[in-house]
Structure 1
Amino acid sequence: CKYYLLQVLLFISASLPNVAPSGTASQSTTLSDSARAWNAIDGKSDPVYYHGSCTHTAHDQSDPWWRLLLPGIYRITAVSVTNRDELAERINNAEIRIGNSAENNGNNNPRLSRTATFQCGGMEGRFVNVYLPGAAKVLTLCEVEVYGDTSSKSEDTASLPNVAPSGTASQSTTLSDSARAWKAIDGNSDPVYYHGSCTHTAHDQSDPWWRLLLPGIYRITAVSVTNRDELAERINNAEIRIGNSAENNGNNNPRCAVIPSIPAAQTATFQCGGMEGRFVNVYLPGAAKVLTLCEVEVYGGTVRRL
């Protein structure tokens, strides 16, 4: 949904609710604490930047962006943007993008050609981005409203099966026979590594990964990961990636989530909003890393068997 944004409130849809407040906002950079991304969905359309209810990226950034992550897949009919009261020309040629891919921070999602009413025609997605391509740019938004319905919202994890056991697991390296990749889909979420139901890559590996190859293309709503009972910090900043490409062992596929941390012996669930793919990877970028998973559950439904 691509629009060349004007300097006023673009479009209001009276027939559908504004779902933006239900999401989580982020942006490429932040100029100050008073200009954070969530200011654009705080319900205040005050266009005076110095009143403290607008966003602002750092000065002279290349390709700045603002992103809304919705809690599921929505059918979006329109997007409204309130511009600031001065320096209004800074928003010229910004684009609105909507879709389900987290690749390039959501900025690679589909866009439409220019239109006067800024209607999105029911485009579906969980990411709504305002993206301003070009060098030495600044992006400020005083309010973003996203009108749509939840009829296409991703299904609850509880209503879909764990399809991980139907797949084949592999990993970059294996420390020992008791730590093989299939241990993460054996149905046993025992977090005590020495009980023999967790995976473990070799020590001090660069960019270790674990991969699940499903027997077809699946629409995946969520991935749950159970961490080990000690050395829990080793999983910090691992990425969940989902897609159909085998390039780089599947690690180049779109990103569903980054795992900031999981407490020792605990399970965390990450919403993927219906991303499609047959590869589900847990990828830990960096040098001298170790990846251990005590269980991985993948919730979704079949799109196509292969």
Structure 2
Amino acid sequence: MDKISIPWLTICVCTCTISGVGTNNIALGKPATQSSVTYGGTANRAVDGNRDSNFWRRSCIHTLHGETDQWWSVDLLSIYRIHTVRIQNRGDDDGFKFHDFEVEVYKQSPGHCPGANKTTCASHPGAANLGENVQLTCAEGTIGRYVKLLKLPQFISSPEDALTICEVEIEGVLVHQCLKDRQFHKHAGNKMQSSNPTNTGLTRAECSRRCYYDNGCYGINIRVTDDECQLITEFDSNTLADDSGWNYYRLC
């Protein structure tokens, strides 16, 4: 076993292994986000299990028109070796908007961990056909938790361009997470303002350990005066703010 030393916390972890068989659609019902929303086309529609390719039957996502950074992402909540990504394109008139896209995979949250390393699963040059269910086979050794679908910005030229698709299905094999890849990074004099912080009442070490093993936790606030600890999760809105009475520890 390897020992990982973190401020005030030592954790023993086992070597990463891959187990089980491929699971059908590991993206189904998982937390999803996207660069923006318009026409009510929220990110969760792409993991609702409904392949209906008609946007107006409320099964497809839609970002703002003309964005230079158009993306959709899903958190699989565990680490997987990812084999296949299937994407259902719209079958109505706006299906032409799905073109020149790439699928990226991250072990760490690209939104919360600056510089998170990515693996490119696959790229798709040109446009998908109307109503097409595009199947992409990931490059060998594609392992991660976060799967991000993005339109390549160099091909976004029209002010009417947007990312709009109807379903994303992912197949993969569960991997026992390599905890040695994750570390706490201190932000002194800062506090993550969360819409739903969890005040644990635990010691600093116990609080850190709980966050470390919780897939939904990506950081902790520690109050300077008494070590009061707050767990910060993926699923609430958060803003990092100056606060000399606290230190924030980001888990990446």
Pairwise TM-score range, normalised by the shorter structure: 0.5 to 0.7
1:148 aligns with 2:154: no
* Alpha-carbon distance change, 55 to 148 in structure 1, aligned in 2, over 3 angstroms: same
Does structure 2 retain, via aligned residues, the 8 Å contact 1:189–1:226?
Answer: no
Task: Tell me, in whole angstroms, the C-alpha distance in 2 between the residues paired with 1:66 and 1:114.
Answer: 15
Task: Tell me, in whole angstroms, the C-alpha distance in 2 between the residues paired with 1:15 and 1:75.
Answer: 9
TM-score (norm 2): 0.59
Stretch moving more, 37-46 or 111-120: 111-120
How much does 1:100 deviate?
A: 2.1
Which structure 2 residues correspond to residues 1-306 of structure 1 after superposition, within 5 A? 16-33=23-40, 35-86=41-92, 87-103=94-110, 109-112=118-121, 118-120=136-138, 121-134=140-153, 135=156, 136=159, 137-153=161-177, 171=188, 188-189=203-204, 225-228=220-223, 267-270=230-233, 284=240, 289-293=242-246
> Which ranges of structure 1 fall in alignment gaps of 5 or more residues?
1-13, 174-186, 191-219, 231-264, 272-282, 301-306
**Which amino acid is 1:111 matched to?**
T
**Which amino acid is 2:230 matched to?**
T
Task: Tell me, in whole angstroms, the C-alpha distance in 1 between the residues paired with 2:64 and 2:22.
Answer: 36
Does structure 2 retain, via aligned residues, the 8 Å contact 1:189–1:294?
Answer: no
Listed one character per residue, the Cα deviations across residues 43-84 of structure 1 (whole Å, up to 9, x for unaligned) are 100001110110000112112000111212111110000000
Task: Tell me, in whole angstroms, the C-alpha distance in 2 between the residues paired with 1:291 and 1:71.
Answer: 33
Task: Tell me, in whole angstroms, the C-alpha distance in 2 between the residues paired with 1:224 and 1:26.
Answer: 19
How much does 1:118 deviate?
A: 1.6
CA RMSD of aligned residues (A): 4.3
Stretch moving more, 74-83 or 136-145: 136-145
* Alpha-carbon distance change, 297 to 25 in structure 1, aligned in 2, over 3 angstroms: closer
**Which amino acid is 1:293 matched to?**
W
Q: What secondary structure does 1:290 align onto?
A: strand
**Which amino acid is 1:54 matched to?**
C
**Which amino acid is 1:147 matched to?**
E
Q: What secondary structure does 1:53 align onto?
A: coil
How much does 1:17 deviate?
A: 1.8
Fraction of identical pairs, as percent: 22
Which structure is richer in relative contact order (CA contacts within 8 A, separation 6 or more)? 2
Task: Tell me, in whole angstroms, the C-alpha distance in 2 between the residues paired with 1:130 and 1:226.
Answer: 31
How much does 1:24 deviate?
A: 1.0
Does structure 2 retain, via aligned residues, the 8 Å contact 1:18–1:146?
Answer: yes
Which residue in the other structure is 1:280 paired with?
none
**Which amino acid is 1:290 matched to?**
D
> Which ranges of structure 2 fall in alignment gaps of 5 or more residues?
1-20, 125-133, 191-201, 206-213
Task: Tell me, in whole angstroms, the C-alpha distance in 2 between the residues paired with 1:163 and 1:65.
Answer: 27
Q: What secondary structure does 1:111 align onto?
A: strand
How much does 1:163 deviate?
A: 8.2
